[in-house]
Every structure is written in structure tokens, then in C-alpha cells.
Amino acid sequence: MPKDNPKPQTIASKKYQDKVGLISKSYKLRREVTEKFAEACEKQGISQAEQITKMMKSFINEVNKK
């Protein structure tokens, strides 16, 4: 949460994110890949976060089947 004097919306957003278990992750990826990924997601009408979540779950399931 931001220090100093956060606005009520910032506090509410943080509370919601904590409640539903959202976290922020940072990865370094090549610009070309991320731009093409963003375009592909836009063409499909889905968010990048939604698609990354699907791919992560698929990979987890694949690994756990072994």
C-alpha cells in the first residue's frame, strides 16, 4: 500500500486484491514477444492476465500428471 496518505479508492482496491488473492509479478521478457502476445490477446478479445493464467494452469496440470 502506498505510504503517506492513500486515497480511499487505493485503500479499497488494495483490500479487494488481498481478499481475492491477487498479487503482482514482474518478469523480464523480450519486447517483440510481449508486443505480439498483446496483439494476439486483443484479437481474441481476452485480457493478457486471463491468457497467462490459462497457460500457467495448463502447464501446472501437465507437470502434475507426470
Judge whether 42 and 36 are in contact, CB under 8 Å.
no
How crowded is residue 37: how many other Cβ atoms within 10 Å of its Cβ?
A: 14
User: pLDDT: is 2 or 35 the higher one?
Assistant: 35
Amino acid at 60: I
The cell for 28 is 523480464
Residue 12 maps to a domain? no
Cα 24 from Cα 62, distance rounded (Å) = 24
Residue 21 maps to a domain? no
Statement: residue 2 has pLDDT above 70: no
Residue 60 maps to a domain? yes
Residue 43 maps to a domain? yes
Domain extent at residue 43: 27-66
User: pLDDT: is 4 or 27 the higher one?
Assistant: 27
Statement: residue 1 has pLDDT above 60: no
* Mean pLDDT, the chain, integer: 93
The count of domains in the chain is 1
Residue 20 maps to a domain? no
Name which of 25, 33, 34 is nearest 53 in CA terms: 25
pLDDT tens column, 34-61: 999 999 999 999 999 999 999 999 999 9
